[in-house]
Every structure is written in structure tokens, then in C-alpha cells.
Structure 1
Amino acid sequence: MRDGLNPQKKDALVACTYNHRVIMVVYIPEFRGYYAKMFEVFKLSIESLIKTLPKTSAITLVDNSSCEEVKNYQIELHKAGKIESLILLADNIGKIDAQIGAARMSREPLITLTDCDILFDIDWVQETIKVFNTIPKTGSVAPYPSRRSLTYATFSVQEAILKRKYKLEFKPIPENFENYNMFLESINWQKEINQNALWPILNVGNVKAVVGSDHQVLTLRRDILFNTVPFEPSYIKVGNHSEENYVDLPIDVFGFFRLSLNKYKAFHMGNSPEAWMYDKLNHLSYKSESLILKLDVNMKYPRSKNRLQFQLRKKLIKELFKFYVPKAYKN
């Protein structure tokens, strides 16, 4: 039996308060081994994120079956109003399925997918939105540059460069040297010794973006998740090409650019906190402004694409682009 009229029917429309949402998946099942110091790393990450978000951005945390202490910490963040949304999963469903599921239920036109070991710096959202507003074909932007991702899932931007629609420059960015080595160290890669190493820079007006990105954290168009990302679940906990298949390649296959900021506005921490991370966090102040997003709403998203045709085009672009890249960058 129903008694009366559901009051929600009188005001059926739901307002969209934000234009950008950050989705962070958290999985810390214990405090030993690999995860011994991950809780402290996660706290640094979420605190830096809360401090650096403008009013037009919101946070969704997805707890992927962490231990009770970590889960309770996230619940307290939600109760305090520091995060807008919290999803608690009883079982670990894998990083990509947790990210994509939460992203598809969000309504904001820009979605940031991030690991819980990223330290965010001031103005990272402002600089990210500036790239989207300036370069219409932008599909994703990472908040820190990737010097060696020029030819990974970037065939769409390579084609645009070869057609002279955009200009690519190879220049050193000496101020990135220290931060770049910090990133390489965080993933146990060999450090860069050349302070004047070249970076692939797309120059559009007063905006500079590096071509390519890593995928520990990136901001992408929400529409891509409904038009180019596989519809079936990944069923993979982490790695095994899951990020490649569900994030990197879909952006590129359908003609969008994978870019990153040309300066470091975020940092990869790894699984162990260091003194510099606390220093950076302590120098952050809370943001309060609203940001205007100007995405091209008429962008076409084909639901199917001839993969064979794309592979042939990709192979041709790859060969032609080799002649465009200076030898000094390859070394």
C-alpha cells in the first residue's frame, strides 16, 4: 500500500553541482609487507587532494575491501564532509573495475582516475582544465609530464602533428629534472643524468602540454567511458594490460589526444612516505574558487571503429613519425 505522493516527484530534476570528479581506489588490506606504510601514503594523498580541489570538483573514494582501520578512516572523511562520495566494497573487484564502475555512475564531464599514492600540488586542476579548454581534441591529461611516452597510445596526436594541425617541439625543461628523477626513483627506474634532456611539447597559444602520459593518475572525458571503453568487466585485480585496454587505448583509438602537463603538479609517492612529501603537503592551502570548463559538446563519439583500419593507419603513422623525432630525443 502507498500512502500519499512521493515528495521527490514534485522536484524530479537533480542539479549537477560539479564539473569534475576525482575517483580514487583504495586497497590496503593489512599493515605489513608491501602495505606496511601505505596507510600513511594514502593519508598524504587524500589530504593533498582535499586541499587542492576547487569548489567545482568533488571526490569519490572507492574502498576495494581494505582492512577495518583504513575503511573507518574513509567513513570519517565522508562524515566530516571532506569527500562527497564513498563506495565500500566487501570484496576486491580489481582496480580498473572499481574505477570504471564509479566513473560511469558519475555525472561530471571530467573524471580523474587516480591511485592512492599520488601527492597533488597546488593548481593541478586549474592547469588540467586549461589544457582541455584550449586543445579541443584533448581526451586525457595527466598532472605530471611523461618524457618517454611520446609514441605510446598517441597515434591520434601524431597524425594531427604530421598533418601540421599542431606543432610539436622538442625542448629541454631543466626545472623538471629533479622531479622527473624523483618519479623514476619511485618506480625503481634508472635516473636521468642529462638535465637538458628533450621533452615532446605541444604548443597551442599560451598553453604547453607534453605529448603522452603515464596512467597512475589522469583526467579524461567522461563520455569516453560510455563510447570507447569496453563494456564488459576486466576481472583483473591490477596490471596485466587492464589500464592499457580500459584507459589508454580507448582514448587514442577514437581520435583523442593523450597529454600531460609540462610541469609537475602531482608526484608519485610509491609505498613509503618521505620527508619531502610532508613538506609539500604543509605548504598547500585550501582552494575556494570555481572553475569554468569549456568542452566541445558537439564532439563525435562513434560506437564502433574498424580496428583493422586503425591498426594499418597506426603502422603507417609510426613509420612516418620516426623521421619527425630528433636523434637527440631518441638517445
Structure 2
Amino acid sequence: MRVGFNPNKDKPQEPNEFFHQLIIPVYIPNQDGYFKDSFTILKYCLESLFKTIHPKTYITLVNNGSDTITADYLNQLRETGKIHEVINTTNIGKLNAILKGISGHDFAFITVADSDVLFLKDWQKETYNVFEKFPKTGAVCPTPSSKSLKSHTFNIWFELLFSKSLYFTKVKNPQALKAFAASVGNTEMYNEIHLQKYLTISNGDFRAVAGAGHFITTYRKEVFEERNVKYSNFMLGGDSESKLLDYPVVEKGMWRLSTEDNFAFHLGNVKEDWMQQTLEEIKPNDFYPDNSIDLSKIKLSKIAFFFKYKVFSKIITRKQIWFYGLKLKGLSTEEAIKYTQKNE
């Protein structure tokens, strides 16, 4: 039986002071084997996050079937006000956890990050700079890679193929590329030319790297609006990340870019001495934006998308044409050969 009138019925939501949401799925089922150091690394991740974010950031942690130690820690962070939301679920997989984190919110920017990211000072500021300097940007990763030039970037190639604004330039922080390669257990990931040059887009003196990774990326909210993906069959990997995090960006006519310098580290699952030291050296945030930056709307017809993404991608990735494209963008014949060998 209902008695009386619910005072919240037909009542508008209170204005939201936040404009940037950060979603981190957390899966630490135990403290043994592969996950032996994961809880410590999660703490590194969150402590670096707290030091580097601005006050308009809304933090959502999705407990994706973690053990009691981890769950209690996340819930305590919520109770003490360090974070804003904890979503407790069984192990539904990384992508489904992300979908849960997005639902029910409306923020201008959404950052999706793994629980083994070490955030560095100014990562938000530099991410916003990329969105501002390149209005077509839909996703920004604060960790650049010289191997991302083929990763859902063919709309960029199509639009800037004969423009000098898309060109190979000197890698700003080669040590960061080496650090990422080591963190994923592949020290041979980058050869000499990858550590020297990457493909960038320029706006005056400002540059961003073509392509973006997955372990931490910030998206315009439009990327997730009217999304076709409602559920992923994969716990991790498969084509789930591509369908939810990559494809919608280019489908809506947007670019996937990375910052020119490095503003985050990937930690992996094994604790190392440098992690604690780097965390202690991170300076607190001094960036306090009042409002989100203004972003222009981007429209792309289905015909234009089909041609740029489906047709053009098949043309430019043909071996001889791709080789020509690399040379057109500033690589020598020898450099283009090395890039081709390592990216196919």
C-alpha cells in the first residue's frame, strides 16, 4: 500500500558540478600468483589519481568480482569521500563493467582506465589541450605510441593525406615508450626508428600523436551516446574493446589521438621499486578549471563513413601504397622499410 505523495516525483535533478568522469574496473579475485602484487599496484594507481585530478572529476570504481580485501578497500574509499561511486558486481568482464559505469550519468568527458595506471601531473590539462586544438578529436590517450598510426586512424589519413600537418616528427619522450614496452613484457616492441619518430598532427606549434591506446583513454561523451554495444561476451580482449572503445569514435567522424609527451605509466601486475619512488615524486594538481571546454558538434554521413573507413582503409593499407604513404609523411626509404616490417 502506498500512502501519500513521493516528494521526488517529477522533481528535476540537481545541477551537477562535475564534468569529467573517470571509470576504473577493478578485478583482483585473490592475493596470489598473477594477482600477488595487484592490490599494492591498485593503491599506487588510486593514490596517483587523487594527487593529479581537478575537483570537477567524478570517480567511479567498478568492483568486478574482487576479493573481500579489495572490496572493503574500495567501499572505504567511498565512505570517506575519496571517490564518488562504487559499483559492486560479480565478474562480468571489463567491458560490461565499463558499460555499468557509464550508465546513469551525463559528463562532458569520460576517462576509462585500467587499475594499473600511474597518473602523472597535468594528464587532464594536456588531454583537454588536444581536444581544444583539434576539434575533431573524440578520444585522447596520455601515453603516446609510435605504433598507433594504423589503429583506427584511417579517417585521419584520408582527411590529411596531402597536408603537411600530418607528418612524422621527433619522439618527445622515447624513455616513456621503452617503459611501456617493458611494462607489457615486450622490450623489443619498438625498434630504433620507432623511438626516433612518430606520426603527429600539428596545429601551429602544438602536436598530438595519431592513434590512441586502451589502458587509459578520455572520450567525448558523444562517443557513448546511442551506442549499439549493450553487452560483451568477452571477459577481456576479443573484439569487445574495438567495438565499444575504438569503432564508435571513427563511426561518428572523430579522431583518436594521443598527447605528444607522456602523462601516465602502465604498471602491469608486478611491483617494482621505481613505482613507489615515482608516486612520491608526483607533484599535486594545480589545474582548476571552472567548466568544461566547449566542443563543436561533429556530423558524419553514413556514406562518408563507409568511404573513409571501409573503402579507403583497404586502399591505403596495400603494401606499396602504405609504403608510399609513409614516405609522403616524411620517412626515408630505409625508415619506411623498418616501420613496415614492424607494423605488419
- Tell whether the structures are fold-level matches, with TM greater than 0.5: yes
Alpha-carbon separation, structure 1, partners of 2:98 and 2:276: 27
**Equivalence for 1:274:** 272
Does the CA-based 8 Å contact 1:138-1:257 persist in structure 2? yes
Amino acid at match of 1:114: A
Is 2:217 aligned against 1:218? yes
**Structure 2, unpaired ranges of 5+:** 339-344
Distance 1:39 1:303, change over 3 A: farther
Letter of the 1:189 counterpart = N
Q: Is the 8 A contact 2:253 2:305 kept in 1?
A: no
Matched, 1:323 2:331: no
Please say if residues 135 and 296 of structure 2, whose CA atoms lie closer than 8 Å, have aligned partners that are also in contact.
Answer: no
Q: State how far apart, in whole Å, the 2-side matches of 1:304 and 1:78 are.
A: 46
The number of residues matched between the two structures is 327
Match in the other structure for 1:231: 229
The alignment partner of 2:231 has SS state of: coil
Q: Residue 254 of structure 2 contacts residue 298 of structure 2 at CA under 8 Å; is this kept in 1? A: no
Deviations 1:269-316 (A, max 9, x none): 000121111112112243364324334343236689875884223213
| Equivalent in the alignment of 1:93 | 92
Matched with 1:38 is 38
Cα offset, 1:254, TM superposition: 3.0
TM-score (norm 2): 0.87
Give the alignment's TM-score, normalised by structure 1: 0.91
2:55 pairs with 1:55: yes
CA apart distance, 1:5:
4.0
Task: Tell me the CA shift for residue 34 of structure 1.
Answer: 0.6
Paired residue for 2:258, among 221, 240, 260? 260
- 1:42-121 to structure 2, matched below 5 A, reads 42-89=42-89, 91-121=90-120
Identity %: 30
Aligned-partner Cα distance in 1 for 2:273–2:303: 49
Structure 1: any 5+ residue segments left out of the alignment?
A: none
Task: Identify if the C-alpha distance between structure 1 residues 316 and 17 changes in structure 2 by more than 3 Å, giving closer, same or farther.
Answer: same
Q: Distance in 1 between matches of 2:336 and 2:36?
A: 39
Residue type of the partner of 2:56?
T
Asked if 2 retains the 8 angstrom alpha-carbon contact of 1:58 and 1:83, the reply is: yes
The alpha-carbon deviation at position 216 of structure 1 amounts to 1.1
More displaced stretch, 210-219 vs 117-126: 210-219
What is the distance in 2 between the residues matched to 1:329 and 1:81?
A: 52
Q: 1: CA distance between counterparts of 2:157 and 2:300? A: 19
1:176 paired with 2:173, answer: yes
Verify the 8 A CA contact 1:170 1:329 in the aligned structure 2: no
> Helix, strand or coil: the match of 2:200?
strand
User: Retained in 1: the 8 A contact 2:24–2:115?
Assistant: yes
2:26 and 2:64 in contact (8 A); partners too: yes
Q: SS state of the match for residue 48, structure 1? A: helix
